[in-house]
Amino acid sequence: MARPSIVPIALTLDDRTGYTLWAPPWEEDGEEWQAFLGTTEEDTATLHLFPTPAKLAAFCRTRTEHDLADHPVWPVVAGLGAADLTPDDDHRYDLDGVYDIAAEDPDRWAVEELAATVDIVSRLAECLDTTDEDDDDDDEDEDEFEAVAELAGKPEIGSLGLGVEAFAGRSGEDAWMGVGTVLDDLWEDVVEELSEHFDWTGGGTATLDEYPSASEAGDDDVAGVPDDEEPLPARAGAAPAGATAASAATRAGVRTIARGSRVTASAADVAAAAEFWEAVGILPVEVVVPEGAGVTLRCYVEDVARFLGRDGAVFLFGSPTDLARYSAGKEQHDLTEIASWPEVADTDTPPLPAEQDRYDLTEFSEALAEVAAGAAGLIPLRALLQPVEGVRDLAEYAGLARVEALLSPTAPLGQALARAEREPEAVLGAAEAAQLRPVWDEVVAEVSGALVFRD
């Protein structure tokens, strides 16, 4: 089983976004457990939500009386700052936006987002439910989260786990309508059941006035509490409460490799743009290297990566606007001959890269340095998969033989990559990180040499 871990998440409800922590399932004393940052008092479980990651970080530094206090990696989390406790896009859940998603066409983005939202709601209910399953009194505390259980048990909702293929064709359209009907019937009851357990004061450290509306809140809000703020009084020696036995399979690392995006766009804007880019078969890509960050375009010709560039040099632009302006011009490049290029040159759809098409090669270098310096256990091996995916494509297009050699199965980096594919949740140790860091830095240097930053 993967080692215990904790990840920051964000929940949006009633036009407020709150930040908190989730401990995905871990094994202890032969049982699987999961928990959220909260407390349980007098048989009532509460989830603590904070208006900013900075407020969350301040709480973690100073409080010990909560459900995660005895989690194996809590000492590491307690030392993290706001930047490390800012959720990535995969761990932001908009409970207000469920109806809007269900009203969209069932593309990959809509199905995955809806499935993830339903999944986190089910996990919250499981951890917040303090009903004793062995209690013979069926008249009291029965079905505390009845609507959540009913929602999760609907076959229409279960089909979300099958992916976008479950909603293809005429029968798929009917299945998607079925999902919407179930949500119309149950979702308001679901959020009502959950909201009774949501603490929007962050354990008494915040007020409702500190929450901006969800439309005004920034995705990377790390403001609000300076690092030298006077600590809040803490009550030591408190026993953890509220973690519940679970049988879920999703796990994530404490240290999320944020991809350092330089592109500012909402998830809704990215999803809307993706419809066009997926249709033409040419996708926007973001690359971050020590020299800077930029966006470009990539497609595959007979499964071989081809980028917006020429003679093996990849053109990067400082913003989607700059990229769109260049694409509308007349300069020849290696995508000009692609059949759908005229549509790209003529479109008003901004080239906004999706999360899986963002490759921050510098942040992984920094994470390796942290682990090599003694912060073992902070990053799982799966953090290697995303940046290597981008590196392979860039190396293939640019003909970087040295990168291919460094990623070969017999090389240290290639061996780590193979292990990441077999055991994605295994974590890097200090010795392994120290060995991989100079190799990865060489890979980044090779790739950087193939990038040309354009105005």
Distance CA 46, CA 122 (A): 15
Same structural domain for residues 454 and 308? yes
Same structural domain for residues 20 and 151? yes
Residue 1 resides in a domain: no
Can you give the pLDDT of all 455 residues of the chain as single tens digits? 345 788 999 999 999 999 999 998 877 767 778 899 999 887 889 999 999 999 999 999 888 899 999 888 888 888 888 888 999 888 999 999 999 999 988 888 889 999 999 999 999 999 999 876 555 555 444 568 999 999 999 999 999 988 888 898 888 889 999 999 999 999 999 999 999 999 999 999 988 888 887 766 554 454 444 443 433 333 223 333 333 322 222 222 233 333 345 567 777 888 889 999 999 999 999 999 988 889 999 999 988 999 999 999 999 998 999 999 999 999 999 999 999 999 999 999 999 998 889 998 988 888 888 788 776 556 778 888 889 999 999 999 999 999 999 999 999 999 988 888 888 878 778 888 889 999 999 999 999 999 999 87
Distance CA 143, CA 138 (A): 9
Q: What is the DSSP string of 194-262?
A: HHTTEETTTTTT--GGGPPBTTTS-TT---SS-TTPPPPP--TTPPP---EE--------SS-------
Boundary-marking domain end, from 198, 220, 245: 245
Same structural domain for residues 315 and 445? yes
Same structural domain for residues 135 and 269? no
Same structural domain for residues 173 and 321? no
Q: How many domains does the chain have?
A: 2
Same structural domain for residues 293 and 162? no
Residue 101 resides in a domain: yes
Residue 396 resides in a domain: yes
Instruction: Using alpha carbons, select from 80, 26, 40 the residue that is nearest to residue 48.
Output: 40
H helical segments located in 65-107: 74-77, 98-103
Same structural domain for residues 178 and 290? no
Residue 251 resides in a domain: no
Same structural domain for residues 318 and 413? yes
CA distances from 145 to 46, 142, 192, 194, 244 (A): 14, 9, 10, 8, 15
Residue 230 resides in a domain: yes
Boundary-marking domain end, from 225, 245, 265: 245
Same structural domain for residues 289 and 363? yes
User: What are the two backbone dihedrals, phi and then psi, of residue 286, each rounded to the nearest 5 degrees?
Assistant: -115, 135
Q: Which helix (H) or strand (E) holds 48?
A: strand 44-48
| Side chain identity, residue 348 | D
Inter-residue contact 315 to 387 (CB < 8 Å): no
- 304-307 and 358-360 strand pairing: unpaired
Tokens coding 344: 């790209």
Q: Indicate whether this model's pTM tops 0.75.
A: no
Residue 158 resides in a domain: yes
Residue 2 resides in a domain: no
Same structural domain for residues 333 and 214? no
Boundary-marking domain end, from 184, 213, 245: 245
Same structural domain for residues 338 and 200? no
Instruction: Please give the residue range of the domain that contains residue 52.
Output: 7-245
Same structural domain for residues 238 and 300? no
User: CA-based angle 425:444:455, to the nearest 5?
Assistant: 120
Residue 173 resides in a domain: yes
